Amino acid sequence: MSKVVPYHTDSLEYPPSHRNVYHDRDNCPAGKTIKQAHRKPGDAGRPRCKDCKNLD
């Protein structure tokens, strides 16, 4: 339940709603589906994930 370093994914394995945003919560439902191997650090200039916002 904590804030983590922003991460995102470029993997086409995920729907755009998960891919076109960045996440910064370790308990984000969308972020949790992103496998560790597919995670990249940083926000990539993307908007913040709505689910992560809701967890604030």
| Shortest Å, Cβ 25 to Zn ion | 6
Residue 47: count of CB within 10 angstroms of its CB: 10
Amino acid at 24: D
Name which of 9 and 30 has its Cβ closer to Zn ion: 30
Question: Which three-class secondary structure string do you get for 14-48?
Answer: CCHHHHCCEEEECCCHHHHCCCHHHCEECCCCCCE
| Shortest Å, Cβ 12 to Zn ion | 18
| Shortest Å, Cβ 54 to Zn ion | 9
Binding interface with Zn ion (CB under 5 A): 23, 28, 30-31, 49, 51-52
